[in-house]
């Protein structure tokens, strides 16, 4: 496997793993602060990121590359308010998108068209995840400190997230 691409894919494995732990910490914070719906949302997001990581691990192995399972960063896990947590969520997704764009850029540079093709799945996934993070943050900004609004947000978060639809046509 092309070494430049192999290294970038290993970096991406680490970013997905870190995102998974980050969202697990967010789920735990939400649970501890009485937001059970939000906790369920982030437990599921954490699982999704783990799958993103595993998909890359399998791909690199299938292509005869060398996978390096990374040491994980301790995630930021302390928030003063819900809005901070969702700002952090969007920031994290934007970071992952930037890294994926970088991998795509290098795939073209290195003429690694198969990897480029494989990475398109991540491009679409990131579009959806960023749109979800933005929608949730927008809703929270509207709600502000209104307690009944926050109660409903916690109750309905999975419905709101499921309703986010990215038109790729």
CA pair distance 109, 12, nearest whole angstrom: 18
Rounded to 5 degrees, what angle do the CA atoms 125, 126, 132 make?
A: 95
Q: Does 154 bind ligand FEO (CB under 6 A)?
A: no
Q: Which residue number is nearest to ligand FEO in terms of Cβ?
A: 52
Least distance to ligand FEO, CB of residue 52, Å: 4
Q: Does 52 bind ligand FEO (CB under 6 A)?
A: yes
Q: How many residues bind ligand FEO (CB under 6 A)?
A: 7
Among 38, 57, 96, 140, binds ligand FEO (CB under 6 A): 96
147-154 long-range contacts, Cβ below 8 Å, gap at least 24? 150/82, 153/37, 153/38, 154/35, 154/36, 154/37, 154/38
Residues within window 118-137 making contact with ligand FEO, judged by CB under 6 A: 129
Least distance to ligand FEO, CB of residue 151, Å: 27
Least distance to ligand FEO, CB of residue 97, Å: 8
């Amino acid at each position: 496997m092309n070494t430049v691409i192999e290294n970038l894919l290993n970096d991406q494995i680490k970013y997905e793993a870190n995102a998974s732990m980050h969202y697990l910490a967010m789920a735990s914070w939400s649970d501890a602060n009485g937001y059970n719906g939000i906790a369920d949302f982030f437990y599921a997001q954490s699982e999704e990121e783990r799958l993103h990581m595993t998909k890359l691990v399998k791909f690199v192995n299938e292509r005869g590359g060398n996978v390096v399972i990374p040491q994980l960063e301790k995630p930021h896990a302390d928030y003063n308010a819900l809005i901070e947590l969702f700002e952090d969520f969007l920031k994290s997704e934007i970071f992952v998108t930037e890294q994926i764009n970088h991998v795509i850029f290098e795939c073209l540079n290195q003429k690694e068209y198969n990897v480029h093709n494989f990475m398109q799945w991540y491009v679409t996934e990131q579009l959806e995840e960023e749109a979800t993070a933005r929608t949730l943050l927008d809703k929270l900004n509207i709600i502000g400190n209104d307690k009944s609004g926050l109660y409903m947000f916690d109750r309905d978060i999975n419905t709101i997230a499921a309703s986010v639809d990215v038109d790729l046509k």
